[in-house]
Copies of this chain bind each other. A is one copy, B any other.
């Protein structure tokens, strides 16, 4: 594949389609197995994320063992109980109804980690901001998520877990931090909208209100008139990408 050529219309459409059609999947998993060649492609996509100082701090722990997934699920239940208590009244009742993970129903869980000692201690670009290695791993997660979507696989990120539990259950070394605990598998369908948007928990923000000109809070109407018009049109109201 030629990496430096231009992207034709179909290529661009494919990328944008993955971006817009990607969903956080919790309740739609089927038990259809994931072909190993497909899994290989999405892991290679993750491995080709940008990384600070080219340190490639990621590892991928593939968790199929039901015994281990049950331990992770118990950890989720404890963390979720704590989370519930943080919401008040109606919000708490609504929160309790959300399905927030698919640990046991998905055929595969993947824990993506950050090895803070890799090629260390001094890493190019991690000198002023010590979280840059974690951020590199998140770029890797997003690559995997998009590649999975293109392959027809759903991914859900389970963030309601204590890292200390995950470290202990999977036997991670001291210097290795879990960044993302993912559930992955084929799905009955990809929901049209994010579930929290569809449920009326929060609305999609208008991009026009999130973009500033040069300084925080300065709207871009004067300096960027055409952009200002475009970002105030909701995606979906336009036919072209």
Is A226 part of the binding interface, using a Cβ–Cβ cutoff of 8 Å?
yes
Minimum CB–CB distance for A100 against chain B, Å = 7
How many copies of the polypeptide does the oligomer hold?
A: 2
A contact residues, total (Cβ < 8 Å) = 122
Q: Which residues of B contact A212 (CB under 8 A)?
A: 59-62
Q: Which residue of B lies closest to A76 (CB)?
A: B128
Separation of A213 and B68 alpha carbons in the complex (Å): 11
**A contact set with B: CB distance below 8 Å:** 1, 3-4, 6-8, 10-22, 24, 36-37, 39-41, 43-45, 47-50, 52-56, 58-65, 68, 79, 82-83, 86-87, 91, 95, 98, 100, 119, 122, 124-129, 131-132, 134-135, 138-139, 141-143, 145-147, 149-152, 157, 159-163, 170-173, 176, 179-180, 189-190, 192, 194, 196-197, 201-202, 204-205, 207, 210-217, 220, 223-227, 230-231, 235, 239, 241
